Amino acid sequence: MGHNHAHPEKAWQAIRTEAIESLLNEINVLTSEDVDKVVRHYEENVGPKTGARVIARAWVDPEFKTRLLADGLVACEELGIGGPETELLHVVENTPRVHNVVVCTLCSCYPWPILGLPPAWYKSSAYRSRLVREPRKVLSELGVDLPDEVEIRVWDSVSEIRYLVMPEKPDHSENLSEAEFAERITRDHMIGVARHIPQAG
């Protein structure tokens, strides 16, 4: 594998990555600025707060919610959110009888432009293989205990479709503003490994 045993302080993956980038620079395929731009965007601009903003808008604006459920990407564009990495965004709504949860069994497809980068556990073999097989058990291990009458729908992002879970709007939350809703919605709610939205901020 060409691992660099002589220099254990630097991972062979780091060495190979740097070498590939250097060759790509040299043959004018990519500049380092091209790469910097993408990395900076994902480190600084994109993250779960983007998704939280989308869901919070849907909670306060029923017409936006209808558009979001009909075509996620088009509705997100209204808020200036989007990117070339997602072809289709399917927003799936939790109800008192349905809980949705997202996985990618084959690799780690994830709605990057809406949620940023996936957490490490999302990419793990354990989550990817077990969630489909025993969703109720995995969710329970993750602190989401669902009564038997709640149906669990597991969405596998194997094609070009990306999924985003719309959690249930908390009861008695009429006093909360759109921004306050957004503060309470986490990445885990939008993947579906959390369900309850706290009333207090």
Partner 1 sequence: MQPETLSAALNQSGFENLTFSTPWSARLFGMTLAASEKRFFTLQQFQSALIGRISEKEQDGCITTDDDYYTCWLEALQGLLEEKNLWQAHQLHEREVEVVEAGEHRKEQQRHGHQAVQPEVVK
Positions marked catalytic = 104, 107-109
Q: Does 198 participate in binding partner 1 (rule CB under 8 A)?
A: no
Identity of the residue, 40 or 66, whose beta carbon is nearer to partner 1 in the bound complex:
40
Helix or strand (DSSP H, E) at 112: helix 112-115
Q: Does 127 participate in binding partner 1 (rule CB under 8 A)?
A: yes
Identity of the residue, 21 or 93, whose beta carbon is nearer to partner 1 in the bound complex:
21
Q: Please tell me the distance from the alpha carbon of residue 61 to that of residue 56, in angstroms, as a whole number.
A: 9
Torsion of CA 89, 108, 50, 43, to 10 degrees: -140
Identity of the residue, 16 or 67, whose beta carbon is nearer to partner 1 in the bound complex:
16
Q: How many residues belong to the site for partner 1 (CB under 8 A)? A: 58
Q: Does 84 participate in binding partner 1 (rule CB under 8 A)?
A: yes
As a whole number of Å, the CA-based R_g of the chain is 20
Q: Which of residues 91-120 bind partner 1 (CB under 8 A)?
A: 106-109, 116-117, 119-120
Q: Please tell me the distance from the alpha carbon of residue 10 to that of residue 22, in angstroms, as a whole number.
A: 17
Helix or strand (DSSP H, E) at 37: helix 32-40
Q: Which stretch binds partner 1 (CB under 8 A): 34-42, 63-71, 95-103, 167-175?
A: 34-42
Residue 165: C-alpha distances to residues 27, 60, 107, 128 (Å): 43, 17, 19, 17
**Residues at the contact surface with partner 1, assessed by CB under 8 A:** 2, 4, 6-7, 10-11, 13-24, 27, 29-30, 32, 34-39, 42-43, 47-48, 84-85, 106-109, 116-117, 119-121, 123-127, 130, 138, 141-143, 160, 186-188, 193
